[in-house]
Amino acid sequence: MPRVSKAQTELNYRRILEVTAARIREAGVDKVSVPEVMAAAGLTHGGFYRHFASKDDLVARATAVAFAQREEEYQAAVDGHSQGLGADGETRREETYRAYLEGYVSEFHRDNPGTGCPAAALAFDAAHVERDTSDLKGAYVDGVRRMVDNLEKLATDGKDVAQDRQRALVDLATMVGAITLARATAHDGLSNEILTAVRGSLLDARPTS
């Protein structure tokens, strides 16, 4: 049997992580199995342990990948939106923040968990493991911390650092809570009510210029 090249091995590894990152966001950690992930990645079950020590190891790494993917999408959205605005840095920052909030608390995000925010999708799983017994908790906490830091950069006006941090924490908790509840009540009118109310509240709380 021919040996797999180093480059192909790396591609296989990334493919497994990407498939797992999507599946755990869609179905939750307990509903995802190693055979299922390997099959979806187009690989045999026997090759799993060449890359990972266990399912817990895979899930922790995939969680980190999910947060990294979301961070890349966030940065691309921020960069793209900022380029289309005027020269006023303050206006750019506020308009970009408003656009991010509106996109997060949306029907599209609710209906596409596999490509959505892992902070919302994996909150239940992370809440039910201990940090000293699972790397999932560590990967989740690190990911949420980076999200807060990114929001704080958009929220800051340089006048009150503590207030900017508090605003970022409150906004993130509100957004994640809204998406979590909207998904839990999906297919009922209450779901859209939650999204509309929270989105409006968040946007009303932001300066318009």
Q: Is the pLDDT of residue 55 over 50?
A: yes
Q: What percent of the chain has pLDDT over 70?
A: 87
Helix runs in the chain, H state only: 6-27, 34-40, 55-83, 89-104, 107-111, 118-121, 123-127, 135-155, 161-184, 189-204
Would 18 be classed as within a structural domain? no
Question: DSSP label at 2?
Answer: P
In this prediction the pTM is 0.86
Domain of residue 140 covers 55-204
Cβ contact 69:157 at 8 Å: no
Run of H or E including 209: none
Average of per-residue pLDDT values in the chain:
87
Rounded Cα–Cα distance for residues 41 and 14 (Å): 10
Quickly state the pLDDT bin for 1 (edges 50, 70, 90). Answer: very low
Would 33 be classed as within a structural domain? no
Quickly state the pLDDT bin for 50 (edges 50, 70, 90). Answer: confident
Identify which of 71-85, 99-113, 128-142, 146-160 has the greatest average pLDDT: 99-113
Q: Could you read off the pLDDT of 121-178 as tens digits, one per residue?
A: 999 999 998 766 568 999 999 999 999 998 888 776 667 778 888 989 999 999 999 9
Would 94 be classed as within a structural domain? yes
Quickly state the pLDDT bin for 96 (edges 50, 70, 90). Answer: confident
Q: Could you read off the pLDDT of 27-40 as tens digits, one per residue?
A: 999 999 999 999 99
Would 124 be classed as within a structural domain? yes
Which residues are CB-neighbours of 133 under 8 A, at least 6 positions away?
none
Q: What is the DSSP code string of 89-117? A: HHHHHHHHHHHHHHHHSSHHHHH-GGGS-
Pick the more confident residue, 143 or 8: 143
**For position 123, which CATH number holds?**
1.10.357.10
Cβ contact 117:70 at 8 Å: yes
Q: For the purposes of burial, counting CB atoms within 10 Å of the CB of 36, is it exposed (0-12), middle (13-18) or buried (19 or more)?
A: middle
Q: For the purposes of burial, counting CB atoms within 10 Å of the CB of 90, is it exposed (0-12), middle (13-18) or buried (19 or more)?
A: exposed
Would 101 be classed as within a structural domain? yes
Would 153 be classed as within a structural domain? yes
Largest CA distance in the chain: 64
Would 40 be classed as within a structural domain? no
Cβ contact 102:198 at 8 Å: no
Q: Is the pLDDT of residue 62 over 90?
A: yes
Would 25 be classed as within a structural domain? no
Give how many domains the chain has, as a whole number. 1
Name the residue with tokens 């210029």: 209
